[in-house]
Amino acid sequence: MARHVARIAVAGLLAAFVAAGVVAWGFAQYVRPGPLTSETVVVIPSGDGVDSIANRLGEAGVLAAPRVFAAAARLTGVGSSLRAGEYAFAPGISSREVLGLLRSGRTVVRRLTIVEGLTVAEVVRQFLATEGLIGEVGAIPDEGSLLPETYHFSYGDSREAMVARMASAMTETVDALWARRVPGLPLADQREAVILASLVEKETAREDERARVAGVFTHRLRRKMKLQSDPTVAYALTSGNGPLERRLGGDDLATVSPYNTYMVRGLPPAPICNPGRASLRAAMNPLETDELYFVADGDGGHVFARTYAEHRRNVARWRKIREQRSDSGS
């Protein structure tokens, strides 16, 4: 009897030693650096359980021992709190650190940059081509209602939500700038300010010119002159679906359209693009000027004039520059 009890005791001790060894080995695997040699990005889909996550990370080379990871998640009681998303795993990340990262929800931050001057149609195409966004855009927003900017998002965010963010950002920006506008503008409301800003955006990309261009248009509006803005003609020809892939000709200026400011007085009925903050600010704080004309100077900017005679000389100079470039093939 005593011998039998001794055998049981020895067996128990051996089992305890083995169990302790397994636990020690498992803990060592849990805390030791993992096999990754370079940063790896893995998407954890919504609905994945602990075993699926462990296997996915094992296949991606993040975990050397997926079963240890799964066991640790269960033993620590955090298996149900692992969050879906796109994660960047650092080289050598341990199973313990992986568990902490998945609990934190610190997913990869993606960036989407919408440049100034794009039409709504162009922005929608960019949304549809952006990897990581999901779903449709939904209702197409109004022209000029989306603020160009760099937006951060996570994998799986919806395109419709991104549109809503851009629209909200535009509304907030316009409200703030309108509250600080200079008095006496020939603009009825914020919408007209956005329309004017869209013309400024398409006319010049130079920061030092925006307020001056806005000043010319404002001066013309006060004098009831036609704005004669080439970008409005291009918009009339393309309906905002994309850039006009050719130079405007004389016949184009006679295009019958409410957007053609060579044919109609005042502002077009709606914006011709989505203007950025700088152009919005310029439209609501234009330079006080008696200039009425501007034309390209050949160096990415414009030359301005107060009289039509002076403007004609500037136009003749620009045409000569353009012809010389055409002859040289540049």
* pLDDT per position as a tens digit, 53-67: 999 999 999 999 999
* CA-closest candidate to residue 73, choices 52, 44, 88: 52
pTM: 0.83
What pLDDT, on a 0 to 100 scale, did the predictor assign at position 1? 55
| Domain assignments of the chain as residue spans, ordered by start | 29-104, 110-168, 187-328
* pLDDT per position as a tens digit, 132-183: 999 999 889 999 999 999 999 999 999 999 999 999 999 999 999 999 999 9
What pLDDT, on a 0 to 100 scale, did the predictor assign at position 21? 44
If you classify domain 29-104 with CATH, what class do you get?
alpha beta
Is residue 16 predicted with pLDDT exceeding 50?
Answer: no
* CA-closest candidate to residue 279, choices 213, 192, 191, 184: 213
> Cβ(108)–Cβ(59) under 8 Å?
no
* pLDDT per position as a tens digit, 222-236: 999 999 999 999 999
* pLDDT per position as a tens digit, 261-308: 999 999 999 999 999 999 999 999 999 999 999 999 888 899 999 999
